[in-house]
């Protein structure tokens, strides 16, 4: 069978991933289709249709669907098969709260157990990089760099907790489009409002890191929780601004490498 992706309508999602397994390719492409809105919420995801669309056979498509079910992006229909899960605003808020709660737990564990020195140092470096982005003032193009460093900081906090189980659980909670720490993409790139929001987030980053260093578990946890609630504001703003879900796909996909 022809396995290259020359005629693949969703091949842009797997740029540079052509060596990966068919299952992973199907998973990434399906995620992209769902988050990008090309598959409407509530719509049935026909396996054969996906075979035509993704260029892989039914087996990897089916495996990808099982994975996506656990990621809360599709749900199993009672009569068999899967449908794109419709995300209500309250459920997204809950997902954000779950992520914040678990990241708060990670921060507290890091503070109570003590975080490895190299991770602390790496976090300081990341925060200084963010400083160089946000301190000079609002500038275009700084947003995507911020998102990258922000995601790295969150990953470092989770790593400091030293638990693979916790890391996985957090990763799963952050799959939903607006629940990811990188979900501030819909913000207006150059606006003063955006810039102030980033400054506040950076303050929170510093407090979390300081609390972890000082072994202040409760403080680290509370601040991390509050920090996650920044996403609430972003979601509210995005819902008011209109449907720009497609933009989120890139950030959401790039954050789980």
Partner DNA sequence: TTGCCCCTATCTGTATACATAATTTTGCCG
Partner DNA sequence: CGGCAAAATTATGTATACAGATAGGGGCAA
Query: How many angstroms separate the CA atoms of 209 and 199, rounded?
Result: 16
Query: How far apart are the C-alpha atoms of 34 and 41, rounded to whole Å?
Result: 8
Of 210, 209, 170, 196, give the one whose Cα is nearest residue 71.
170
HSE (side-chain half, CA atoms, 13 Å) at 204: 23
Partner whose binding site includes residue 172, from DNA, a second copy, none (CB under 5 to 8 Å by kind): a second copy
Nearer to DNA, 1 or 117 (CB): 1
Looking at residue 20, the DSSP 8-state letter turns out to be S
Among a second copy, DNA, none, the one that 70 touches (CB under a kind-dependent 5 to 8 A) is a second copy
The distance of closest approach from Cβ of residue 164 to a second copy in the complex, given in angstroms and rounded to an integer, is 7
Total count of residues recorded for the chain: 257
Q: Which residues pair with 44 in a beta bridge?
A: 83
- Answer with the entry of DNA, a second copy, none that 79 interacts with (C-beta below 5 to 8 A by kind): DNA
Residue 54 contact partner, candidates DNA, a second copy, none, CB within 5 to 8 A by sort of partner: none
Q: Where are the beta strands (DSSP E) in the chain?
A: 44-45, 74-76, 82-84
Contacts of 191 (CB under 8 A, 6+ apart): 138
CB of 242 to a second copy, least distance (A): 24
- The site partner of 44 among a second copy, DNA, none (C-beta below 5 to 8 Å per kind) is DNA
Contacting range for DNA; rule: CB under 7 A; set: 20-28, 96-104, 178-186, 244-252: 20-28
What are the CA-CA distances from residue 27 to residues 31, 46, 101, 102 (Å)?
6, 14, 27, 25
Which of helix, strand or coil describes residue 230?
helix
What x-and-dash track marks residues 25-64 binding DNA by CB under 7 A?
-------------------xxxxxx------xxxxx-xx-
Q: If binding is defined by CB under 7 A, does position 81 make contact with DNA? A: yes
Binding stretches for a second copy (CB under 8 A): 59, 62-63, 66-67, 70, 72, 90-91, 94-95, 97-98, 101-102, 105, 109, 163-166, 168-169, 172-173
Q: Which residues would be at the binding site for DNA (CB under 7 A)?
A: 1, 3, 21-23, 44-49, 56-60, 62-63, 76, 79-82
């Amino acid at each position: 069978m022809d396995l290259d992706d020359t005629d693949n309508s969703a091949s842009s999602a797997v740029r540079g991933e052509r060596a990966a397994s068919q299952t992973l390719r199907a998973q990434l492409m399906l995620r992209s289709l769902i988050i990008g809105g090309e598959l409407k919420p509530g719509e049935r995801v026909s396996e054969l249709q996906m075979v035509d669309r993704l260029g892989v056979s039914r087996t990897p498509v089916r495996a990808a669907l099982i994975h996506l079910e656990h990621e809360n992006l599709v749900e199993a229909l009672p009569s068999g098969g899967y449908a794109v899960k419709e995300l209500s605003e309250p459920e997204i808020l809950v997902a954000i709260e779950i992520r914040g709660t678990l990241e708060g737990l990670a921060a507290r564990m890091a503070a109570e157990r003590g975080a490895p020195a190299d991770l602390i140092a790496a976090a300081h470096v990341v925060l200084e990089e963010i400083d160089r982005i946000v301190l000079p003032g609002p500038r275009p193009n700084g947003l995507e760099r911020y998102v990258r460093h922000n995601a790295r900081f969150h990953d470092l906090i989770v790593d400091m907790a030293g638990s693979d189980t916790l890391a996985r659980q957090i990763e799963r909670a952050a799959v939903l489009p607006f629940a990811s720490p990188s979900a501030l993409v819909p913000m207006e790139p150059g606006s003063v409002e955006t810039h102030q929001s980033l400054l506040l987030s950076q303050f929170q980053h510093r407090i979390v890191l300081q609390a972890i260093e000082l072994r202040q578990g409760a403080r680290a946890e509370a601040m991390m929780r509050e920090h996650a609630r920044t996403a609430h504001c972003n979601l509210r703003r995005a819902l008011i601004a209109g449907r720009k879900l497609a933009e989120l796909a890139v950030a959401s996909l790039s954050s789980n490498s």
